[in-house]
Structure 1
Amino acid sequence: MVKRVGQVPPARRAETTRGASPRSRFTTALRSALLWLQELGGYTIALLTVAVAVVAAVAVTGYLLSRAETGRRPPDTGARSSKDVDACLLTGEDGITAGTTAAQVWQGMRDASLRTRARVSHVPVTGEQSAAGARRSLDGLLRRSCDVVLAAGTPEVQAAERAAPLHRTVAFVLVGDGGNGSRATGSARPAGSGGNSGSGGNSGNITFARPGDGLRAEIAGAVERQAGARG
C-alpha cells in the first residue's frame, strides 16, 4: 500500500513563509544554502573558493598599489613654494617689542611666511649696541645659512650694509633710508622695486624699506619675492 504525501499548494507555501519569524526564515535560507552546496559537489565548491580568493587578492593588491602611488605623487609646487627659505631679522636689544619698527618688520615677515611657508626668525643684538656688536650677531645669522637677512636699527643696518658685498647669495632687506655703505656700493633701492640684481661693481643684494605705515606690507612683499625666487 503506497502512502500518498499531499503537496502544499504554492499559495499556502507563500503564506507560511510570510508568517514565519525572522529566525525561522534565516534557518530555512541556511538549510537551502547547505543543500545547494551539497548538490554542487566538492569539486565545484573548491572552484568557487579559489575564485573568491582570487577576487579578494586582486582587490587587496589594487588597494595597496593605489596607496603606494599616492605616496609617490610629487608634492604640489605651490605648497612647497618657499618652505626651504629662511628669513632672519636682526634687531636692537629691544627685539620685537610692540610699537617698535622691528615689531612691524616681524609682522610683515610672518605675513609672508603664512603665504609662502618660509621659515622666519629674529635675533636681538645683545651687549654693545654698535655696528661692531651688531656684526657679531649678524655673523651668527649668516653661519645659520639665512637666505634673507632683514635688519632694523641703525647699528644693525650699518653692519648689514658692510656685510652684504661679502655675501652676494644672501638677500639683505634693510629698514631705513640708506646709509653710507649703500651710497658707496650704489646698491640701495626700495624694497618695493622688486629687483635685487646688481651690475658692475655693485653688490646688488640690498634693498631698503622705509619706516612708516606701509612698512609691514612692504616687508611682506619683499620677503615673498625673495622666497618665490628661491623656492
Structure 2
Amino acid sequence: MVAAVVAGVCLWPSGDGGELPTARAYRDVDACLLTDSRGVAPGVPAAPVWAGMQEASRATKVRVSFLSATGPDTRANVEPYVNSLVQEHCSVVVAVGATPGQAVRAVAPRQKHVRFVVVGDGPGSANVSVVREGGKPEVQDRIRGLLTSLTGTS
C-alpha cells in the first residue's frame, strides 16, 4: 500500500499540464573549486567565483563542485585537498585564497594533465592561470569566461 501511494505521488501529473522535469545531462568534464574553511557563503571571497562557475556550468554543461579545506591554514594541510580533487578527475581545479593558491602551485607541476586556476596574485605557469581579485561582478565574469575557455566550450 505504501509503495502504491509513493508511486502515485511520484507519477502524479503536474498541475500546469507541462512535462515532468528531466535530469540535466552533463558533459564528462568536471570543474572543482577549492576554498578555505568559509566555503562559498555569501560575502566570502569564494562566493563570486562559485557563482561564475555555476553560470559556466549552465552554459556549457560542465559539472561543478566545491570542497572546503578544514584544519590549519597551512600549505601542508591544504595540499591533500588539491590532490583529492585531482584524484576525483577534476579537469579544472580553481583555488580561492592565499593558502589554497600556494597548495595548487605546489601540486600543479606534478599534475600536467589538469588545468589549475588561482584567484589572487602571483604568477601563472604552464598549467596554472591566474584570475586577479576584484569586485564581485568582475571576478564572476572572469571565472565564467575562463572556465568556458578551459573546458573547450568557447
Q: Distance in 2 between matches of 1:218 and 1:87?
A: 15
| Larger RCO (CA within 8 A; separation ≥ 6) | 2
Aligned to 1:220: 144
- Pick the aligned partner of 2:29 from 78, 85, 89: 85
Give the C-alpha shift of residue 101 in structure 1. 1.4
Aligned to 1:40: none
Q: Which of the two has greater strand per residue?
A: 2
Q: Distance in 2 between matches of 1:138 and 1:204?
A: 17
Percent identity of paired positions between Structure 1 and Structure 2 = 38
**Structure 1: where are the runs of 5+ without partners?**
1-79, 183-187, 189-202
Give the C-alpha shift of residue 175 in structure 1. 0.4
| RMSD over aligned Cα atoms | 1.6
Larger radius of gyration: 1
Matched, 1:157 2:126: no
Alignment of 1:1-231 (within 5 A): 83-178=27-122, 182=123, 188=124, 204-213=126-135, 214-228=138-152
Aligned to 1:16: none
Q: Distance in 1 between matches of 2:80 and 2:91?
A: 18
Q: Distance in 2 between matches of 1:124 and 1:144?
A: 15
Give the C-alpha shift of residue 227 in structure 1. 1.3
Q: Distance in 1 between matches of 2:131 and 2:51?
A: 14
Give the C-alpha shift of residue 111 in structure 1. 0.6
Q: Distance in 2 between matches of 1:170 and 1:206?
A: 9
**Structure 2: where are the runs of 5+ without partners?**
1-24
Q: Which of the two has greater helix per residue?
A: 1
Give the C-alpha shift of residue 162 in structure 1. 1.0
Amino acid at match of 2:90: C
Deviations 1:178-221 (A, max 9, x none): 1xxx4xxxxx2xxxxxxxxxxxxxx5111000111200000001
Q: Distance in 2 between matches of 1:174 and 1:153?
A: 8
TM-score for both structures, normalised by structure 2: 0.79
Number of residue pairs aligned between Structure 1 and Structure 2: 128
Q: Distance in 1 between matches of 2:52 and 2:78?
A: 22
In the TM superposition, structure 1's runs of 4+ consecutive aligned residues that sit over 3 Å from their partners are none
